[in-house]
Each structure stands twice: as structure tokens, then as C-alpha cells.
Amino acid sequence: MQNQNSDSATAGLLAGIGAFLIWGLAPLYFNLLDGISAPEILSHRSVWSFILAMLLLALLGKLKDFWETLGSRKKMTTLLLSTLLIGSNWLVFIWAITNQHMLDASLGYYINPLVSISLGVLFMGERLRPLQWFAVALAAAGIGYELWQFGRVPLIALFLAFSFGFYGLVRKRAPVDSLTGLAVETLYMLPVAIIFLLWTDSPSSNLLTNSWQLNGLLLLAGPITLTPLLLFNIAARRLNLSTVGFLQYIGPTLMLLLATFFYGEPLGESKLITFAIVWFALFLYSTDALVHRRKRRLLRKAAL
């Protein structure tokens, strides 16, 4: 039994690392689509993600869940809201990556866990310990510093953090698995995506006139969307939340390194200070979570 648990945790760890590596390296893919607008990339992403999701549902024998979800007014209303959130998140993320704002995107996904924590307190009745409250306040201070230094709110980072945070909150209220939920969300996006591709005068919107290399890149949007999501779900089922929380920072760290060393985005002193404040806040929160988890484990052992 212990070996089985160990194997399960190892598989979960590998799956989690794989998911966050793909998410962190995704900017390399989106930058290959240079010259294609963010709405057009999002449209292709929606179409090919829907097709791939439906194929996977068929292969996994889960089409029945999909049809049952379509018949539930409550689930469909909730998933319509989640579609608006994840669709706008994807659009702003793609725009940021293709317009040299990768550092802002990275900062957004560093802030996101703390936004999710705050939403849990506000809407789910979750409680924070004093050090965790301090970590959230410290992250807010980091954003305040950038506002004071530049005289502007880091809108891209905040939009990505809050849209993904609220997306997670809404999906918690929709009792559907991730693949079925994503299939419905991309189904909602499908008519808009098709209309946009037919309406736009962009030459790359017509697959029949594209090179096979470009078509291959556009079709790759489906696997790049679904693969990390499925790997993440494997990790979430097999690992404890604190481990998943640590793995989560692989993605924005890779984005930060790509932006600074590969794409040459300037990481000035002021922006570096903002990142440092947020990093320290995350360190405090994660340390507190680990210490508290270890105490609970020791108490359970003592009780046994």
C-alpha cells in the first residue's frame, strides 16, 4: 500500500511539473505566431481546443457527461460566466505575450495565488492565519509600490490575476470535471471564433491558403491548451495542496526568465522590487502553510 501511494505521488509530481513547464514555456509558442492578432489566435485556440476536447471525451467514454451538462440550465449558466472569464484571460495573456509584456503576465500569475486566497476568504468562508494575512497585505503593498513608482496600475498583471482567480472560484461552483467544462466553454466560444475567422480579412484565417507549417502551428493550439490542464488534474488528485502550490510558481518563473534573457524585456529596478515583494509574500504564505500542515500531521500521529 505504501509503495502504491509513493508511486501515485511520484506520478502526480511528474504530471504537475509537466503541466507548469508547458504553461511557463507557452510564450515560446505564441511568439512563433508573430504577425497574427491576439483575437485571431484566440479564435484558433477555441476551435481546435473544442475539437480535441470532444475527441478526448469520446475516447474516454465521457460524452454522456457532456450531453448531461448541456441539459442542465444551472451548469450551463455557471459555465457561461466561466467562459467569459477564461476567454478574456486567454485574450489578454496572448496579447501581452505577443506585444512584449511578458513580465506583466509573469507578475500576474505570481499574484494569482494570493488573489485566489483572498477570494476564498470573501466568498467561501475560508480563514487565514495572521502570517497569511500579512503575506496578502505584503503582496498588495508590492502592487502599491509599482503604482506609486510609475503612476499607473499594472493593469495587465492585475487583470490576469483576478480573471483567473474568479475563474477558479466560478468553476468550484460548477460540478463538472475539467475536460467536460472546457469542452462546454470552448463550445460557447465556437460561434464567435468561427464568425471572427470568416469576417476578418487576415490572410492566415483561411487554412486553405496557409503554409502547412503555419497550419501546424495553429492546430497545435489545441494540445497546448488541453495537455497541461489534464496533467494538472492528475497532479491535483495525487498531491497535497501545498505541493501543488509550490509547483505553481514554475510557470511565471519561466516566463520571467524568458522575458528577461530571451526576449530582452527590461527588468528595471522598480519592477524588480515589485517582484521581490511578491516573491517574499509567497514565501511567507507557503512556509506558513507547510509548518501548519506538519503540525497537523504530528497531532494526528500523536492521536493514533
Domain assignments of the chain as residue spans, ordered by start:
2-303
Burial class from Cβ neighbours inside 10 Å (0-12, 13-18, 19+) for residue 253 reads middle
* The C-alpha cell that represents 2 in the structure block: 505504501
CA distance linking residue 20 with residue 10, whole number of Å: 16
* The C-alpha cell that represents 252 in the structure block: 511565471
CA distance linking residue 82 with residue 90, whole number of Å: 12
Average pLDDT value for residue range 231-235: 79
- Helix/strand/coil (H, E, C) string of 100-155? CCHHHHHHHHHHHHHHHHHHHHHHHCCCCCHHHHHHHHHHHHHHHHHHHHHCCCCH
Phi-psi region of 174 (alpha: psi -120 to 50; beta: other; left: phi over 0): beta
Confidence of residue 103 (pLDDT cuts 50, 70, 90): confident
CA distance linking residue 203 with residue 35, whole number of Å: 11
Closest CA relative to residue 114, chosen from 141, 86, 95: 141
Ranges 82-86, 202-206, 231-235, most confident = 82-86
**Whether the Cβ atoms of residue 234 and residue 9 lie closer than 8 Å to each other:** no
What confidence tens digit (pLDDT) does each residue in 45-79 have?
899 999 999 999 999 999 999 999 999 999 999 99
What confidence tens digit (pLDDT) does each residue in 140-182 have?
888 777 667 666 678 898 999 899 888 888 887 777 888 898 8
The single-letter DSSP state of residue 261 is I
* The C-alpha cell that represents 275 in the structure block: 517582484
Query: What sign does the CA torsion over 148, 85, 49, 181 have?
Result: positive
pLDDT of amino acid 25: 92
Q: Angle of helix 38-59 relative to helix 212-219, nearest 10 degrees?
A: 70
- The amino acid that residue 158 corresponds to is L
What confidence tens digit (pLDDT) does each residue in 11-31 have?
878 888 898 899 889 999 988
**Whether the Cβ atoms of residue 49 and residue 221 lie closer than 8 Å to each other:** yes
Residue with the bigger pLDDT between 83 and 153: it is 83
